[in-house]
Chains A and B, each alone.
Chain A
Amino acid sequence: MSMLPFAHALAARQDLPVPAWLFAWGASIVLIVSFFALAAGWRKPRFEDAHWRPLGAGLSRLLLGRPVQALCGAIGVFLLGVAVYAGLRGTEAPDRNFALTFLFVTAWLGFPVFSALLGDVFRPFNPWRAVGRLAGAGFRAIAGQRPAHLAYPRALGRWPAAIGLLAVVWLEVVYGSSGGVAVGLDPETAATAALFYSAYTLAMMALFGVEEWCERGEIFSVYFGMFGQLGWFGAEDGRLGRRRPLSAATRWATLPGSAAVVIASIATTSFDGASEGAFKGAIESCFDWFVDRGIGLTASLRLTDTIFMALCFAGVALVYMLGVRGMRTVRGAPSLQTLRAGFAHTLIPIALAYLVAHYFSLFVFQEQAQFTYLLSDPLGTASTDLFGTASGGIDFTILSANAIWYVQVGALLAGHVLALTLAHDRALVYWPNYRDASRSQYWMLAVMVAFTCFGLYLLSVSNG
Chain B
Amino acid sequence: MRHVSKVVPALLALIAGAGLASCGDGGSSGGYGGEGADVVSGQFERVAGAPSGYAAVTGEATVERADGRTTVSLDLRGLAPDGDYVAHLHSGGCGEADPGGPHFKFDPEGSGEPSNEIHLAFSANGQGAGTASASSNREVPGGAAGSVVVHEAEGGDEAGGHGGSGHSSAGYGAGGETVLVHSGHQHEDEPGPPAKIACAQLEGGAGGGGAPGDNPESASMGGQVPTVVVRDGEPVGGIEELEYDAGEQIRFEVSSDVADEVHVHGYDLSEDVTAGGTVSFDFPAEIEGIFEIELEARGTQIAELRVNP
Binding site for B on A (CB under 8 A): 1, 3, 5-6, 12-16, 19-25, 27-29, 31-32, 34-36, 38-39, 183, 361, 393, 396-397, 400-402, 435, 442, 463-464
Contact of B266 (CB < 8 Å), options: A12, A20, A442, A463: A12
Does B97 sit at the interface, judged by CB under 8 A?
no
Q: How far is the CB of A68 from chain B (nearest CB, A)?
A: 41
**B21 x A24 contact (CB < 8 A):** yes
Chain B residue with Cβ nearest A463: B290
Contact of A3 (CB < 8 Å), options: B13, B20, B246, B301: B301
A38→B13 CA distance, assembly (Å): 12
A93→B97 CA distance, assembly (Å): 42
CB contact under 8 A between A31 and B17, given known A5-B239, A20-B27, A183-B299: yes
Q: How far is the CB of B2 from chain A (nearest CB, A)?
A: 8
**A12 x B20 contact (CB < 8 A):** no
Contact of A27 (CB < 8 Å), options: B10, B17, B266: B17
Q: How far is the CB of A171 from chain B (nearest CB, A)?
A: 20
New A-B contacts (6) at CB < 8 Å, excluding given A12-B291, A32-B17, A401-B288? A15-B289, A16-B288, A16-B289, A20-B23, A442-B9, A464-B306
Does B275 sit at the interface, judged by CB under 8 A?
no
Residues in A whose Cβ lies below 8 Å from that of B162:
none
Q: Top 8 nearest A-B pairs by Cβ distance?
A: A28-B17, A24-B24, A21-B24, A401-B288, A12-B265, A14-B290, A5-B301, A31-B13
A32→B20 CA distance, assembly (Å): 12
Chain B interface residue count, Cβ-Cβ cutoff 8 angstroms: 39
B residues 1-31 touching A (CB-CB < 8 Å)? 2, 6, 9-10, 12-14, 16-18, 20-27
Contact of B24 (CB < 8 Å), options: A3, A6, A25, A361: A25
Residues in B whose Cβ lies below 8 Å from that of A36:
10
Does B142 sit at the interface, judged by CB under 8 A?
no
Residues in A whose Cβ lies below 8 Å from that of B14:
32
Does B286 sit at the interface, judged by CB under 8 A?
yes
**A34 x B13 contact (CB < 8 A):** yes
Interface residue SS majority, chain A = helix
A111→B246 CA distance, assembly (Å): 34
**A25 x B21 contact (CB < 8 A):** yes
Chain B residue with Cβ nearest A464: B241
**B13 x A35 contact (CB < 8 A):** yes
**B17 x A13 contact (CB < 8 A):** no
**B289 x A14 contact (CB < 8 A):** yes
Q: How far is the CB of A400 from chain B (nearest CB, A)?
A: 6
Does B279 sit at the interface, judged by CB under 8 A?
no
Does B260 sit at the interface, judged by CB under 8 A?
no
Chain B residue with Cβ nearest A24: B24
Residues in B whose Cβ lies below 8 Å from that of A3:
238-239, 301
**A23 x B24 contact (CB < 8 A):** yes
**A38 x B24 contact (CB < 8 A):** no
**B23 x A32 contact (CB < 8 A):** no
**B6 x A39 contact (CB < 8 A):** yes
CB contact under 8 A between A21 and B299, given known A14-B290, A401-B308, A463-B290: no
Residues in A whose Cβ lies below 8 Å from that of B308:
16, 401
**A397 x B287 contact (CB < 8 A):** yes
Binding site for A on B (CB under 8 A): 2, 6, 9-10, 12-14, 16-18, 20-27, 238-239, 241, 246, 265-266, 268, 286-292, 294, 299, 301, 304, 306, 308-309
Q: How far is the CB of A445 from chain B (nearest CB, A)?
A: 9
**B16 x A13 contact (CB < 8 A):** no
**B268 x A32 contact (CB < 8 A):** no
**B23 x A24 contact (CB < 8 A):** yes
Q: How far is the CB of A373 from chain B (nearest CB, A)?
A: 12
CB contact under 8 A between A20 and B24, given known A3-B238, A463-B290: yes
With most chain A CB atoms within 10 A of its CB, the pick from B12, B21, B241, B288 is B288
Chain A residue with Cβ nearest B243: A464
Chain A residue with Cβ nearest B22: A24
Residues in B whose Cβ lies below 8 Å from that of A39:
6, 10
A344→B192 CA distance, assembly (Å): 73
Residues in B whose Cβ lies below 8 Å from that of A31:
13, 16-17, 20
A35→B2 CA distance, assembly (Å): 15
Residues in A whose Cβ lies below 8 Å from that of B289:
13-16, 361, 396, 401
A23→B24 CA distance, assembly (Å): 8
CB contact under 8 A between A13 and B287, given known A23-B24, A393-B268: yes
A400→B307 CA distance, assembly (Å): 11
Between-chain CB contacts (< 8 Å), 7 pairs: A13-B266, A14-B291, A24-B20, A24-B21, A35-B6, A39-B6, A397-B286
Residues in B whose Cβ lies below 8 Å from that of A34:
13
CB contact under 8 A between A38 and B239, given known A13-B287, A31-B17: no
Chain B residue with Cβ nearest A401: B288
Q: How far is the CB of B126 from chain A (nearest CB, A)?
A: 17
Chain B residue with Cβ nearest A178: B299
Chain A residue with Cβ nearest B264: A12
Residues in B whose Cβ lies below 8 Å from that of A6:
292, 301
Q: How far is the CB of B12 from chain A (nearest CB, A)?
A: 8
A442→B6 CA distance, assembly (Å): 11
**B291 x A32 contact (CB < 8 A):** no
Residues in B whose Cβ lies below 8 Å from that of A25:
21, 24
A454→B25 CA distance, assembly (Å): 20
Chain A residue with Cβ nearest B291: A13
Chain B residue with Cβ nearest A34: B13
Chain B residue with Cβ nearest A402: B309
Chain B residue with Cβ nearest A15: B289
